[in-house]
Structure 1
Amino acid sequence: MSLSAVVLLCMFGTVTSEACAVPSAQQWLVTGLQTQLENGVKQQSSPSPSVVMALNLAGGRDSTATKRLIQDIKGIKDMTSGKVALYVLSLQSFCVDPKDVPTAGGRVNVVSALEEKTNEEIKHYYDTGTPKTTNYQLALDILALCVEKSPDAKNAAATLIKIIKGCQSKGCFDVDTAAMVALALSCVHDGMSKGSKMEGAITETLRVITAQILDSQQESGIIGNIYSTGLAMQALSVTTEFYPAGAWKCTKTIDEVLRKMYEGAFTNPEAGSQILPSLVGKTYLDVATLNCFSDPNITVHYTVINQLIGPYFNYSITVKVPKGSVLLAALEAAQHVNPTIFSFQTESTSWGPMVISIHGVNGSSDDKTYWQFLSGEKPLDQGVGSYKPTDNEHIVAKFSTY
C-alpha cells in the first residue's frame, strides 16, 4: 500500500457511524473550503450569488459582498430566470428582503422580476414543448418563489410536474436537474394541505425523482459524479419520506466527498458552493430561516515567523474554525488552504501533539530550537491540542531558542 493511501486511511478510516455528518476530526476540511470561498468572494467585483448563499448558509457573512451583490441587480432585466432566482435566494440568506431591495436607482422587487421571468419560461413550454431556458432553471425558479411564499410557485410546480411526466422515459433529467426539482417540489409540498390533488401529484413526482437520483448512486457513495453529489445530498436530505429507509448510503457519500475534498476536488468556486451547504447540515430551503446574527465559526489570524535560520520568512493567513475548536484545527485549516507555506508536522507526547516542524523548518534539541506559540506576544500555556483560540485572536508560531 502506498504512503498516500496509508495517510488517507489514517485520516478518514472506515465510516461506521450511522450519523450523516462530517466527523469532527475532518471538520477542518469544511472550514478550509469555506475560507477558500470567502477569499475568492473578496477578490471578485461581482460575487457569485450561489457562492455567497453557500457561505451565508455556513454562517460566514460579508457585508461588503452584500453591497456588491445589490449593485449587480441593476442588470436584472438581462439575466436568465435562474440567475434571478439565485439572487432572490442569496439576498434572503443575507436577511435582505428580495421584494424591497434598496439600490442607487431606487428600490427593486426582485421577486416580482422572477415571477415575470418564470411566467415566460412556462409560456415558452406551452408554445414549444420546452422551457425558455432549461428544466434546471425552471426548478430553481420554483424553489426561490416557494421560499418567498409567492403564489406563482404552485402554478409553476404544476407545469414542472407535467414536464416530468412527459419526459420520464427520455432520461431528460440529469442528477443536478433531478436534485433541483426535488428541492423545489419538496418546498411546495411542505406548504400544501394534506390530501389535496396537487399534494398527491407532488408526492408521486417526488417518489419518481428521488428514485432516479438514487439510481445514480455509485458503490463509492458518489451520486452521479462528484460535482453533482452536493445538490443530490441536499435533495435527499429533505425528501426522506419519499424513498425507502437506508436507500441512500449517506455516510459513504460523506466519506467519499471528504476524500475528494482532501484531494482538491472543489477548487472551482461554483462546485464548492454546491457541496458546502450539505457539509454544514443545510440546504437551499434554509435560506429563509437563518439566524442572520449568529456565526457558528470563529476567525483566527495565524502567523508563522522564522528569523533564526535562512531563508527567513514571515507569513500570515486568516482562517475560520468552528467555535470551541482547538488550535490544531486552525493549523490544519491553514495548511489546507495553502499547504506550500503552512505545512506542519506534529509529534505525540504525553501532553498531547507537539508541533515539531512548520514550512519545512524543524526544531532541534541539538540546536535548542523549537516552535513557540503565542497569542499576540503572550506565550500560550497550553499545547495546540488543548488551547482553544477565541474569535479574531492572533496566533503566532515563532521559531525560537531555549
Structure 2
Amino acid sequence: MRASQQLSLVGFLLFFLLPAHLCEICEASNEQQASLAPLMATMIQSRQPSPEADSSILIALELARQYDQKAETAFLNVVKQNILQRETLTSGQLALIILALTAACQTSFVAEYKLVKSLEEKFQKEIDSIDTSGQPLTNYYELGLDVLALCLLNGTYSSSKIAKLFSAEQRMSYISGQFFVDTGALAVLALTCVNRQSPDKIISKNILWLVEKILKEKKQDGTIGDIYSTGEAMQALFVTPEYYKKEAWDCNQTLNTVLSQISQGTFSLPIAAAQVLPALEGKTYLDVTHVSCQSRPAGHLNISTPKPTEPTHQSKNISVTYSVVDSINNNINESTIISVPKDSVFLKVMEAAQAQNYSKFWFTIESSEWGAYVTSVHGIQASSKNRTYWELLNNHQPLSQGAGSFVVSDGDNLEVRLSQY
C-alpha cells in the first residue's frame, strides 16, 4: 500500500513561503483554433505506427477542442492492439498506453486487462535496476510516465521511494551533465500528482528544484529548452504556479512563439505535434482523468492542408563540413566537405559522405516515431549496455531535431559524435 503521509509543519510552511499566484493557463483562443489544424492533420494522417506515437496522438486528440470521431476511434483501436505486445513493451510505453486509454474513457478496458498491475511490475523492475546498477532499465523520462500513470490510476507505489527517485541528488534529468527539459517536465507532472494525494515536504522541494531548472532553460523568444520540449514545459508550469513568481514566465509569449512555428512546419512529425497540442489547448496530462465521457458532437474535422509550393527555379547546391568523431575511445576523427542541394536535411549529407567514401563514412539507421535514428557509424554501434549513442551536432551545438528533419545551411559544420549518457 502507498504510504499515507501527513503534511508536516515544515512542508506546510514551505508552501506559504513560496511565491504564489493564481494559475495562469494560457491557451489558443477560439480565433486561433484554425492555426492548430495543421497539428491535427499531421497526427490524423500519421502512417508510422508506434506505441509512443499512437498513444500520444490519442491523448492529444482527446484533450483537443476540435473533434474527429473517426480518427479517435481509429487510434483507440490501434492503441488497444498494442496491448497484445505488453510483454515486449517498456514501462514507459505501457504507462503511455494506460494514460491514452484513460483519456479515451476506457478505464474498464484498463481494469479488464490488469494493465495497472502490469505497470507496477515493470516499474518495480526499473527500481530494482537502479538499486543494483544505479541506472533504470529505460530512462527517467519513462519513469516519469510510470509514476504519473500509477498515481492517476491509483496504483501501488511508495511516496518516499518516489521522493528519493526524483531528487536533485539522483540527478534524474541529466545526461552527461545536461538538463533535459522534457524529462524534468514529466517528473514535475508526476510529482505534482503524487503530492496532491499525499503532500510531502521532500517532494515539494524536488518540484521546486525542477521548476527552477526548467525556467533557467527559458530563451528570449519564450521557448523553454528547445521548441520540441516547450509544450511539456508549459504543462509543468501550468500545474506549479505556487513554485515561481509570476514575472518569471510570460505564458502568452511562449504560446505565441509556439503558434508561430506551426505554419513553418516545425511540428511536421506526428509525435512532435502530439506532444505540443495539449499545452496549446491549456491542458496537461493530469487532465486525462477529467475528460468528459459524454458523447461529443459527431463530425469530421476538416484537416485539408495546402499543397507545397513548387520551386520557381532550380535549387542551388550548398557546401557543408561533415565530421565523424568518437569522443569516447578517440578511434575516429574523419572530416570532409560535402556539396548537397539547398534545403537538404542532415541525413542527405550523411548519405552523400557515405557515397563519397564508404569506408570512412558508412552508417546505419533505424526508424522511430521521431524519424531516422542513427544506430552506427564507421561500424561502431550505439550501445544501451554501454550507454553510448551517436549525437548530432551543428556548429558544435547538439541538435534538437533528428537526421531526417534538420535542414542544413551553407557553411554548416555538421558532426556525428559517439557520446555517452
Using the size of structure 1 for normalisation, the TM-score is 0.64
Q: 1:21 and 1:97, CA in 2 relative to 1: closer, same or farther beyond 3 A?
A: closer
- Quote the residue 2:376 is aligned against: none
Task: Tell me, yes or no, if structure 1 residue 286 matches structure 2 residue 287.
Answer: yes
- Quote the residue 1:190 is aligned against: 196
Higher RCO, 1 vs 2 (CA within 8 Å, ≥6 residues apart)? 2
Consecutive unaligned residues of structure 2, counting only runs of 5 or more, are 1-23, 310-421
Q: For the residues of structure 2 that align with 1:183 and 1:296, how far apart are their CA atoms?
A: 30
Does the residue aligned with 1:166 lie in a helix, a strand or coil?
coil
Q: For the residues of structure 1 that align with 2:255 and 2:263, how far apart are their CA atoms?
A: 12
Bigger Rg over Cα: 1
Q: 1:160 and 1:172, CA in 2 relative to 1: closer, same or farther beyond 3 A?
A: farther
Task: Tell me, yes or no, if structure 1 residue 223 matches structure 2 residue 191.
Answer: no
Name whichever of 92-101 and 62-71 sits farther off.
92-101
The one of 33, 36, 43 equivalent to 2:39 is: 33
After TM superposition, give the deviation of residue 130 of structure 1 in Å: 1.5
Consecutive unaligned residues of structure 1, counting only runs of 5 or more, are 1-17, 102-106, 194-198, 301-317, 320-333, 342-402
- Quote the residue 1:304 is aligned against: none
CA contact (8 A) 1:45 1:68 kept: no
Q: For the residues of structure 1 that align with 2:255 and 2:287, how far apart are their CA atoms?
A: 20
Map 1:105-116 onto structure 2 (within 5 A).
107-116=112-121
CA contact (8 A) 2:101 2:110 kept: no
CA contact (8 A) 1:143 1:153 kept: no
Q: For the residues of structure 1 that align with 2:115 and 2:278, how far apart are their CA atoms?
A: 23
After TM superposition, give the deviation of residue 338 of structure 1 in Å: 2.4
Using the size of structure 2 for normalisation, the TM-score is 0.61
How much identity, in percent, do the aligned residues show? 35
Task: Tell me, yes or no, if structure 1 residue 91 matches structure 2 residue 107.
Answer: no
Q: 1:52 and 1:145, CA in 2 relative to 1: closer, same or farther beyond 3 A?
A: same
After TM superposition, give the deviation of residue 63 of structure 1 in Å: 2.0
Task: Tell me, yes or no, if structure 1 residue 136 matches structure 2 residue 141.
Answer: yes
CA contact (8 A) 2:25 2:282 kept: no
The one of 166, 178, 184 equivalent to 1:161 is: 166
Q: 1:266 and 1:295, CA in 2 relative to 1: closer, same or farther beyond 3 A?
A: farther
- Quote the residue 1:65 is aligned against: 75
- Deviation track 1:343-374 (CA, whole Å, cap 9, x = no partner) reads xxxxxxxxxxxxxxxxxxxxxxxxxxxxxxxx
CA contact (8 A) 2:54 2:78 kept: no
- Deviation track 1:51-87 (CA, whole Å, cap 9, x = no partner) reads 1111111153522322221122111111111001101
Structure number having the greater helix percentage: 1
Q: For the residues of structure 1 that align with 2:235 and 2:226, how far apart are their CA atoms?
A: 15
Map 1:176-215 onto structure 2 (within 5 A).
176-193=182-199, 199-215=200-216
Q: CA RMSD in A?
A: 2.5
Q: For the residues of structure 1 that align with 2:129 and 2:164, how far apart are their CA atoms?
A: 11
Residue type of the alignment partner of 1:167:
R
Q: 1:40 and 1:166, CA in 2 relative to 1: closer, same or farther beyond 3 A?
A: closer
Q: 1:142 and 1:171, CA in 2 relative to 1: closer, same or farther beyond 3 A?
A: same
